[in-house]
Chains A and B, each alone.
Chain A
Amino acid sequence: MDTTAHVHDSPSRTPPVIDWPAPERVCIPLRQHQGKAAAVIVTIGQAVNQGQLLTHSDNLFEVPVHASISGIVDTITAQQITLRQTPNGDAQTGSITRQSQQPQGTTITTLYNGWSRSEYLQRIHNAGLVGLGGSCYPVAAKINKLGDKPADTLLINAAECDPSICCDEALLNHSIDEIAMGICLAQHATQAKKTIIGIESDKSALGQLLLTSVLNCCAQQFAAHTELQVVPASYPNGAESLLMSHCVGRTLTPTDIHESQLITFNINTCYSLSQALILGNPCTHRIATIIDSQHNRFNLRLPLGTPISDLIAYYEQRRDCTIVVGGEMMGTEVGLDAVVTKASNCIQLKYVKTQPTVRPCVRCSLCVDACPVSLKPQLLLSAASTANYTNLQTLNLQNCIECTCCDRACPSHIPLAGIFAKSKEQMRQDTHARQMANLAKARYEKRQARLENSKQREFKKLDKKQSNLNQPEKAGQQAKRKLVEEALQRARDKKKNQPPANNNTSPADGQS
Chain B
Amino acid sequence: MTTLHTNTALPGVSHLMRLVLAALIPGTAVFIYQTGWGGVINLLLAIIAAVVFEAIAVKLRRRSVRTSLEDYSAVVTGWLIALCLPPLLAWWLPVLAAAFAILLAKHLFGGLGQNIFNPAMAGYALLLISYPLDLGLWLNTPEAFNLSLHDSIAIVMNGGVKLQANWDALTGATALDQHRGWLLKTLDNPTPPGNTFGTIGAAHSEWANMAFLVGGIWLWHKRIIQWQIPLAFIVTLLLCTTIGNLINPLQAGPGFHLFGGATMLGAFFIATDPVSAAASNRARLIYAAGAGGLVYLIRTFGAFPDAVAFAILLMNCVVPALDRMDIWLLGRNNEAPKQ
Contact = CB atoms under 8 A, between A and B. Distances in A.
- The prevalent SS among residues of B at the interface is loop
A413 B274 contact: no
Contacts of B2: 159-160, 162-163, 200, 202, 233-235, 237-238
Contacts of A365: 226, 274, 279-281
A405 B275 CA distance: 21
Given A394-B334, A396-B334, A235 B12 contact: no
Given A359-B112, A362-B112, A234 B12 contact: no
B330 A395 contact: yes
Interface string B4-22: 1111101111011000000
Contact of A360 (B8, B114, B280): B114
Contacts, number: 109
A379 interface: yes
A357 B3 CA distance: 26
Nearest to B111: A360
B6 A359 contact: no
A408 B13 CA distance: 13
Contacts of B193: none
B58 to A, nearest CB: 12
B11 A411 contact: yes
B114 A366 contact: no
B225 to A, nearest CB: 9
A236 B279 contact: no
Given A163-B1, A234-B2, A234-B4, A362 B275 contact: yes
Given A202-B2, A365-B279, A395 B327 contact: yes
Interface in A150-185: 159-160, 162-163, 166
Interface in A377-401: 378-379, 391, 394-396
B67 interface: yes
Nearest to B70: A357
Most buried by B among A359, A372, A391, A412: A359
Interface size class of A (residues with CB under 8 A): 35 or more
A403 B4 CA distance: 11
A46 B278 CA distance: 66
B264 interface: no
* Secondary structure of the A contact surface, majority rule: loop
Contacts of B67: 357, 359
Contact of B4 (A235, A391, A396, A412): A235
B279 A408 contact: no
A412 B6 contact: no
Contacts of B11: 411
A368 interface: yes
B302 interface: no
Nearest to A160: B2
Nearest to A161: B2
A350 B280 CA distance: 38
Given A357-B67, A412-B113, A379 B5 contact: no
A467 to B, nearest CB: 54
Interface string B208-225: 000000000000000000
Contacts of B277: 363
A439 interface: no
Interface in A191-206: 200, 202
Interface string B306-335: 000000000000000001001100110010
Contacts of B323: 379
Contacts of A200: 2
Interface in A207-246: 233-238
Nearest to A236: B5
Nearest to B12: A411
B318 to A, nearest CB: 15
B273 to A, nearest CB: 9
Given A362-B113, A409-B10, A411-B15, A379 B274 contact: no
Nearest to B226: A365
Contacts of B113: 359-363, 412
A412 B13 CA distance: 6
Contact of B274 (A13, A163, A363, A409): A363
A408 B4 contact: yes
Contacts of B8: 408
A237 B1 CA distance: 13
Nearest to A365: B279
A356 interface: yes
A120 B280 CA distance: 49
B109 to A, nearest CB: 11
Contacts of B334: 394, 396
6 contacts: A363-B279, A364-B274, A370-B6, A391-B327, A408-B8, A412-B13
Given A13-B1, A359-B67, 12 more contacts: A166-B1, A360-B110, A362-B275, A363-B113, A363-B275, A365-B274, A368-B279, A379-B327, A394-B330, A395-B330, A409-B10, A411-B10
Closest 3 A/B residue pairs (Cβ): A360-B113, A364-B274, A394-B331
